[in-house]
Structure 1
Amino acid sequence: MIRSAKIPDVKEIQNLVNFHAKKGEMLTLSLSEIYERIFEFDVYEENSQILGCCALHPSWEDLAEIRSLAVKEDFIGKGIGKQLVENALKRAKDLGIKKVFALTYKLEFFKKLGFYEISKDGLPRKIWSDCLKCPLFPDCDEIAVMIEL
């Protein structure tokens, strides 16, 4: 079941995200960052266990970013990530957002969901504020993808 994240979920969201961040797949998140953005997060829960999370971060009047998409390692490949992204896209559409992007190392995953590759140069400079904490900045090797709703 996918549901909006709640305050008691914050530590588990951090564990999920930071597990993948340690593998170089995404940026780490502090507890305070998650608390401040709790309304952006949805979680996938099964048998009272959080197996995945995904954030939808509005960036501009018609643009949002999918962030912090993470699935518990033993459950990768079971469709949880796909469901979380599809849910985020529905939320974006409900908000009136016309385009959603992500920065990813998983190009094929996003392509299967209808995203296409774009140049990072076409994204608003505002999105790069989070990139400043990345050890790869300014030599980002993530791939930018977008979908139009």
Structure 2
Amino acid sequence: MKIRKATVSDIKLIHKLINEFAKKGEMLPRSLNELYENIRDFLIAEQDNEIKGVCALHILWEDLAEIRSLAVKKESQKKGIGSLLVKKCLNEAKKLGVNKVFVLTYIPEFFKKTGFMELDKSKLPQKIWGDCIRCPKFPECDEVALIYEFKV
């Protein structure tokens, strides 16, 4: 399994994968425009020249980043790909000097295995007023917020 940064040629496949999960209500949809604008955030899990999964690390503030749009193809799930992508995002955050990484998810147990702890969403004002306010589920969000903090 190879983890690499996304390229422009990956965007349509990323869009398709994320929005397959979004149609089932398992994650928020992402537009092609949003994906192109945030391409530098995305990592790709690739095997035999085929994208198996994607994940993004989005920086929100000097000390806060978000892992978003984690999606692994159904037939490739339960093989450690999602965990590998999350760990790569955490490593990247640490290298950038960001000491807190959060996620909003419907699958909190997955992230708890990696060391994330539950958090009240109200403790994430940068997220709420930056992204959440534009979400169709706002203010009735049913995702769980979790945070990972690097030991200083």
TM class, shorter-length:
over 0.9
1:41-60 residue pairs with structure 2 within 5 A? Answer: 41-60=42-61
Which residue number in structure 2 is paired with residue 77 of structure 1?
Answer: 78
Rounded Cα–Cα distance in structure 2 between residues aligned with 1:105 and 1:121:
17
1:24 aligns with 25
Q: 1: distance between equivalents of 2:24 and 2:79?
A: 20
Matching residue's letter, 2:42: F
State how far apart, in whole Å, the 1-side matches of 2:126 and 2:148 are: 19
Structure 1 range deviating more: 15-24 or 129-138: 129-138
Greater than 3 Å deviation, 4+ residue runs: 125-129
Deviation at 1:128, TM superposition (A): 3.9
Identity between Structure 1 and Structure 2 (%): 56
Which digits, 9 at most, give the CA deviation of each residue in 1:75-116, with x for residues without a partner? 111100000000000000000000000000111000000000
**Aligned positions, number:** 149
| Distance in 2 (alpha carbons) for counterparts of 1:133 and 1:48 | 35
Shift of 1:131: 2.4
Give 5+ residue unaligned stretches, structure 1.
none
Q: How does 1:1-149 map to 2 (within 5 A)?
A: 1-149=2-150
Contact 2:60 2:126 in 1 (8 A): no
- Provide the secondary structure at the position in 1 that maps to 2:131: helix
TM-score, normalising length: structure 1: 0.96
Residues 2, 45 of structure 1: 8 Å contact kept: yes
User: For the residues of structure 2 that align with 1:76 and 1:6, how far apart are their CA atoms?
Assistant: 23
Structure 2: stretches of 5+ with no match in the other structure = none
| CA distance in structure 2 between the aligned counterparts of 1:126 and 1:146, rounded to whole angstroms | 13
TM-score if structure 2 supplies the norm length? 0.94
Quick one: distance in 2 between partners of 1:39 and 1:52?
16
Give the deviation of 1:133 after TM superposition: 4.1
- For the 8 Å contact 1:5–1:38, the answer to whether it is kept is yes
| CA 1:126–1:133: 2 relative to 1, 3 Å | closer
